[in-house]
Chains A and B, each alone.
Chain A
Amino acid sequence: MSASFINFGINAVYFITAAVFIIGLKQMSSPVTAHRGIVWAGIAMVVASLATFGAPQISLEVSSINLQLMIVAIVAGSTVAYISAKRVAMTDMPQMIAMYNGMGGGAAAAIAAVELVKLSSGAESHGLTIQILAVLGAVIGAVSFSGSAVAFAKLQGIMKKTLRLPLHQVINIGLFVAVCVFGYFVATGEPVVFEHVMIFFALAIVLGVMVTLPIGGADMPVVISLFNALTGLAVAFEGFVLNNAAMIIAGTVVGSSGTLLTQLMAKAMNRPISNVLFSSFGSDGGAAAEEEIEGSMKEIQANDAAIMMAYGQKVIIVPGYGMAVAQAQHKLKEMGDLLEARGIDVKYAIHPVAGRMPGHMNVLLAEAGVDYDNILDLEEINPEFPTADVALVIGANDVVNPVARTNPDSPIYGMPILDADHAHNVIVIKRGKGAGFSGIENHLFYADNAQMLYGDGKKAVAELIAGIKQL
């Protein structure tokens, strides 16, 4: 009687948790209510976790080794994540999200691992459907885990090169087939063979690494978003295994919303998700299909650039990943304020995939205190470029490359770009003369109306500020 009452109570908490999560996500869709949304979701998470201590599977005996270790695990995991999340610089946020996401995927896979190991040691099966779902969640979770780890390593700079083995796709297909075979053995095994389970997990983890290795840094936002959706799905599947409504609903909601977000991003880059996953950026064709470039790069000094902007009427700033690396957003805001004080119309143009995540630039500019009414996205700002006196490109490259409009052979052909080349003058702040992240030459830099201001983003903007102040 009392046991079923407790069970009912816990399930009620899970039900409310799922509802609050959805409301919280909804509130996160508006800047005004976003903060409230995450706080609500946070409270729901804490309540759900505390309620779980009352679950029949968990012994509350203080002497229970399971309980003791569980508390150690919660404290350890929370502490590490809390400190790292507090300390990390805003520019490094994308890889941290990748890491936390990978942990979630790993947790889902580990849940499946425990369930399958139990089956291999003779526990009673809950039926074929449940076993299949456990295996599906395990594959997806394990791939998301190891794939996110690779994404983290790449963005953090631990792993610099995009590694591509000979016959990489063939190896991947082979791996995938092997995972499917062992997944089938495990899902249908009566009883499940322990060695099969271990081989299955090892293969799934290697598959995640192999799939992510050849993907270039420019495609990482899409990949992180995809892994986020996958983790959600894995959590939902393990939710079915554990018969846990909160996991099913929250996981599925994240799975579908993450898929939509991934599609939006891939669309912004004009690269179908299959292309992102199965062909690497600029590795083939990119350099080879390069056509002759007319004109030459012209250098400009900071003082001249400052005059050009200060006596204009409208300046559009185009930030990219280089701005994030140089941490130039605060200086940029300072410069924008100076220009606005002179009565100049200052706008910020954000490409959907500028930086390493959608909205990455928005977050950084918001951190610097730029009013978000002045931050415009692609469709809004493109008609304004022809009326702009100066387009200041800082640390952006592929997202302003006109070959995306003109050269059908280019790997980025068809990607919507910011029409910075339509401004009267273009000033490009760039560290060196090399090609961008994707390795594709940027024709904008050679255009007649474009001039290059070489140097570290932050220092260059500081020089511009000094130049404007002198006027």
Chain B
Amino acid sequence: MIEGLPALYIFMLSAFTGYEVISRVPVILHTPLMSGSNFVHGIVLVGAMIVMGSAEGALELTIGFIAVAMAAGNAVGGYVATVRMLEMFQTKPRVSAKDAGGASS
């Protein structure tokens, strides 16, 4: 069971991690990254499955069904969209990808 202070610690450390991870992303990758993080919260699928598994009665089952379908859509859609965007960056000839810092030359 995660609760009380340890739960707060997890929350705080994860928050800092997210902040640090994204702070070094070049503007060029912002849209793919937003799409990528959109995919990551598709992990809600796991929770939706657990809730639907223990659903009882028509109402709970219906809401659970909606939860699972939407969560699956979030995960799959987020993944495909991100990959499609990133593939565009990949197919390019990497002539001078290293010296992007001196791009003003």
Tell me, rounded to whole Å, the shortest Cβ–Cβ distance linking B63 to chain A.
5
Contact B88 A38, beta carbon cutoff 8 Å: no
Closest residue of chain A to B104 (Cβ to Cβ) is A380
Q: B86 is contacted by which of A35, A82, A264 (Cβ under 8 Å)?
A: A35
Contact residues in B for A331 (Cβ distance below 8 Å): none
On whether the beta carbons of B71 and A32 are closer than 8 Å, the reply is no
A233: nearest chain-B partner, CB-CB: B41
Is B55 a contact partner of A114 (Cβ separation < 8 A)? Answer: yes
Instruction: Return B31 CB to nearest CB of chain A, in Å.
Output: 4
Total interface residues on A, CB under 8 Å, equals 118
Q: Tally of A-B residue pairs with Cβ under 8 A?
A: 390
Check if B27 sits within 8 Å of A362, measured CB to CB. Answer: yes
Are B53 and A28 closer than 8 Å at their CB atoms? no
Contact of B32 among A48, A103, A240, A359 (CB under 8 A): A359
Q: Which of A42, A45, A253 has the most CB of B within 10 A?
A: A253
Q: A357 in the interface, Cβ–Cβ < 8 Å?
A: yes
C-alpha spacing A90/B31, complex, angstroms: 11
* Contact B37–A240 (Cβ < 8 Å): no
Contact (Cβ within 8 A) A99 B77 = yes
In the complex, the answer to whether B22 meets A93 with C-beta atoms within 8 Å is no
- Docked pose: A32 CA to B54 CA in angstroms: 43
Q: How far, in whole Å, are A94 and B78 apart by their CA atoms in the complex? A: 11
Interface residues of B toward A: which range?
35 or more
CB contact between B80 and one of A74, A77, A81, A373 (< 8 Å): that residue: A81
Q: Is the CB of B15 within 8 A of A252?
A: yes
Interface residues of B, dominant DSSP = helix
A67 and B65 CA atoms in complex are apart in Å by: 10
Contacts of A362 in B (CB 8 A): 27-31
Contact of B69 among A74, A111, A377 (CB under 8 A): A74
- Give the residues in chain B near A107, CB-CB below 8 Å: 44-45, 47-48, 66-68, 70-71, 74
Q: Chain A contact residues: over half helix, strand or loop, or mixed?
A: helix
With the chains together, A38 CA to B79 CA distance in Å?
A: 7
In the complex, A252→B17 CA distance in Å?
9
When the two chains form their complex, are residues B60 and A81 in contact, meaning their CB atoms are under 8 A apart?
A: no
- Complex contacts, B99 vs chain A, CB 8 Å: 373
B66–A35 touching, CB < 8 Å: no
Tell me the smallest distance from the CB of B83 to a CB of chain A, in Å: 6
Separation in Å of the A418 CB from the closest CB of chain B?
13
* Chain A residues with CB below 8 A from B29, complex form: 28-31, 34, 359, 362
Which residue in chain B gives the minimum CB-CB distance to A351? Answer: B27
Please pick, from A28, A103, A258, the residue contacting B77 in the complex, using a CB distance under 8 A. Answer: A103
- Tell me, in angstroms, the Cα distance from A257 to B2 when the chains sit together: 23
User: Is A359 within 8 A of B30, CB to CB?
Assistant: yes
Beta-carbon contact of B14 and A373 below 8 Å:
no
Choose from A78, A243, A357 the contact partner of B76 (Cβ within 8 Å): A78
- Given contacts A248-B2, A350-B27, A358-B30, 13 further A-B pairs with CB under 8 A are A26-B21, A57-B50, A73-B65, A77-B69, A77-B71, A100-B78, A104-B44, A253-B17, A254-B38, A261-B22, A362-B30, A373-B100, A373-B103
Complex A-B: 5 CB contacts under 8 Å: A57-B54, A66-B61, A104-B71, A231-B38, A239-B47
Q: Which 10 A-B pairs have the closest CB atoms?
A: A77-B72, A58-B53, A81-B77, A110-B67, A256-B18, A252-B14, A85-B80, A359-B30, A77-B69, A104-B74
